[in-house]
Amino acid sequence: FKYFFTRKLMFVKESDAFVLFPGGFGTQDEAFELLTLIQTGKSDLHPIVLLDAPGTGYWERWLDFVSTLESQRMISPEDTHLFRHTTSIDEAIDEIRTFYGNYHSQRYVRGKLVLRVKHEPDDALIENLNTEFADILVDGRIEKSGPTKREIEDDDEVELPRVILHFNRKHLGRLRLLVDRLNQAAVSADSSG
C-alpha cells in the first residue's frame, strides 16, 4: 500500500479476526486504532488476540500500561474484555474459533442491534442475559427473533436465528461478554446434546 492509512483501513475492514504480535510503533498504532474502533462501535466486534512468545512478556508489559489507563479512569474496566492475551498459538486459534462458534455477525436495524447466531438460544438463556446485561439496554429486553423486515428485503443472512436488543452503544466490552455467553451456551448445548 502506498499510504499507511489505506493499509490500516484494509486491515480492519477486510479481517474477521486479529492476532497481534510484538512489534514497534506501527504495531502499537494498529492495536490502539483497532481497539478504539471497536470500543467506540465504529467497527463490529471481532476477536482480538495479543500473542506473546513464551517468556518474552511484551504484551504483559502492554497490559500493565493498559491497567494504568484503567486505574486513572481513562478507559473503562470493561474495555479489557475486547481482547485476549496468550502465549499459546493453540489458545489464540481456540479464541477465534470459539468467538465464531455461534456468533455470526451483527447489524443495526431501526436503532436496535441484531446479533445473528448459528444456534437459537433457549428461553432460560435469554432470561439470564436480560438479568446479567440489563445495564447495556436503552430500554426493552433482549429477545430472540427471526430476520427483520429490512434484513429480508436485503436478503441478509435470513436463515440465521437472531438476538435483538436496544443496545446503548456505549458498553462494547459488556457486549463482547454477552456474545461470549451466547457462544458458551451453544458449546454447552452441543456437548450435552
Question: What is the per-residue pLDDT across 84-143, written as a single tens digit (0 to 9) for each?
Answer: 999 999 999 999 999 999 999 999 999 999 999 999 999 999 999 999 999 999 999 999
Alpha carbon distances (Å) from 133 to 115, 156, 170, 193: 14, 26, 13, 27
Residue 25: partners with Cβ closer than 8 Å, 6 or more residues away: none
Rounded Cα distance between 146 and 158, Å, is 8
- Note the pLDDT tens digit of each residue in 152-192: 999 999 999 999 999 999 999 999 999 999 999 987 776 66
**Model pLDDT, residue 192:** 65
Residue 85: partners with Cβ closer than 8 Å, 6 or more residues away: 49, 50, 52, 59, 60, 63
Class of domain 4-99: alpha beta
Q: Which residue has the higher pLDDT, 193 or 179?
A: 179
Q: What is the 3-state composition of the chain as percent helix, strand, coil, each rounded to the nearest 5?
A: 50, 20, 30
pLDDT, average across residues 7-20: 87
Does the pLDDT of residue 69 top 90, yes or no?
A: yes
Q: Which residues pair with 165 in a beta bridge?
A: 113
Kindly report the number of other CB atoms within 10 A of residue 188's CB atom: 11
Q: What is the pLDDT confidence band of residue 193, given thresholds at 50, 70 and 90?
A: low
Residue 110, SS3 per DSSP: coil
Domain ranges of the chain: 4-99, 102-192
pTM comes to 0.91
Nearest to 82 by CA among 119, 52, 110, 44: 44
